[in-house]
Structure 1
Amino acid sequence: MPAHFRQERTKIVVTADNEVNIQTLTNWKVSVPFLVMLSDSSNITMPITIEDTLNQCFTQETTEQIIHLSPVCANLLRRVTASDPPFKLISVTPSPVGESGEARCIIQGKGIVSLEAVNQLGEHFLLATTYLSVGEYGIHFSTENLANGVYGIILRAADGREQRSVIVIER
């Protein structure tokens, strides 16, 4: 169930919504016996999904779509800090790629980052290698050594590996 939660004195109130918007408490997490999945970002709005596997942990008010968690289920609150966005290859542009392109990515840890292309025969072509710290980047690359065709663009870093498909066209 997509939900929205906030702490009110001694209880947690969960309201149906697609996002968590914690306005005054930006770093609380509820540990309960059902699955709570948080997707943190650097701001205070986080999408979550709550799935009740026991069907005993909450009651729902139908008029305001408010869900009250059972005190037995929500008996532990602990402070957590917001984390950086996860490692991600956001996009490869333009599409299709001509003479050059740009891979937009989010890096979580410091280290060497490489960008390579792999063709349909499994041949790998190194496009860029650089040292990056935490942040969002655009890595520029040239396609002058690539023939026309479909390629997988692979971004590798210490904190992950992601791939996107691109088409390289005549220059």
Structure 2
Amino acid sequence: MPAYQSSFDATSYQLLSNLSLLPLRTTYKGPAPKADSSTEDVIDEAFKYYRANVFFKQFEIKTPADRVLIYVTLFIQACLAATMKCNTANEAKKQLNSLALTNFSIPGDPSFPLNSLYSSPKNHSEAETLRQFFQQIRSEVVERFVPIVFKDDKPDKWWMCLAKRKFMNTSID
């Protein structure tokens, strides 16, 4: 059975390196276009498919939108790992806010784990836009993570049991 791909039509969106600059339902500033509040964005897709996709060691990339889905999935994985020892939603929120704001690598950096799947930014301006897009994604994932994974102020066991799984045998931290 193949992994779930992104449903976004990549030809409709601006390309950034070899990623699609997909719309997000977010209040955080960044280069991503605003998505309609009634539609599903790539972050919703990543949360919806996470528990199925996390078991895959390989992921066939069909569109540039799939690369965004991979990044969001890897960041959700990092969030789960960071909150493994948190017992309440407040503890998790504090832990995740610091995770979202820490320095992180982007494609082209030597420490980025999936450089073979992502192309390096062409110039400094594109690299900065990519960094802002990833920061916007990270902030929005943190915002949505706690209500999904910490229902009733306790960690959901069906999410937390996947905290040690590694999507594509890698992690972004």
Asked if these proteins are the same fold (TM beyond 0.5), I'd say no
Q: TM-score, normalised by structure 2?
A: 0.19
Greater radius of gyration (CA):
1
Structure richer in helix, relative to its length: 2
Structure richer in strand, relative to its length: 1
Q: TM-score, normalised by structure 1?
A: 0.20
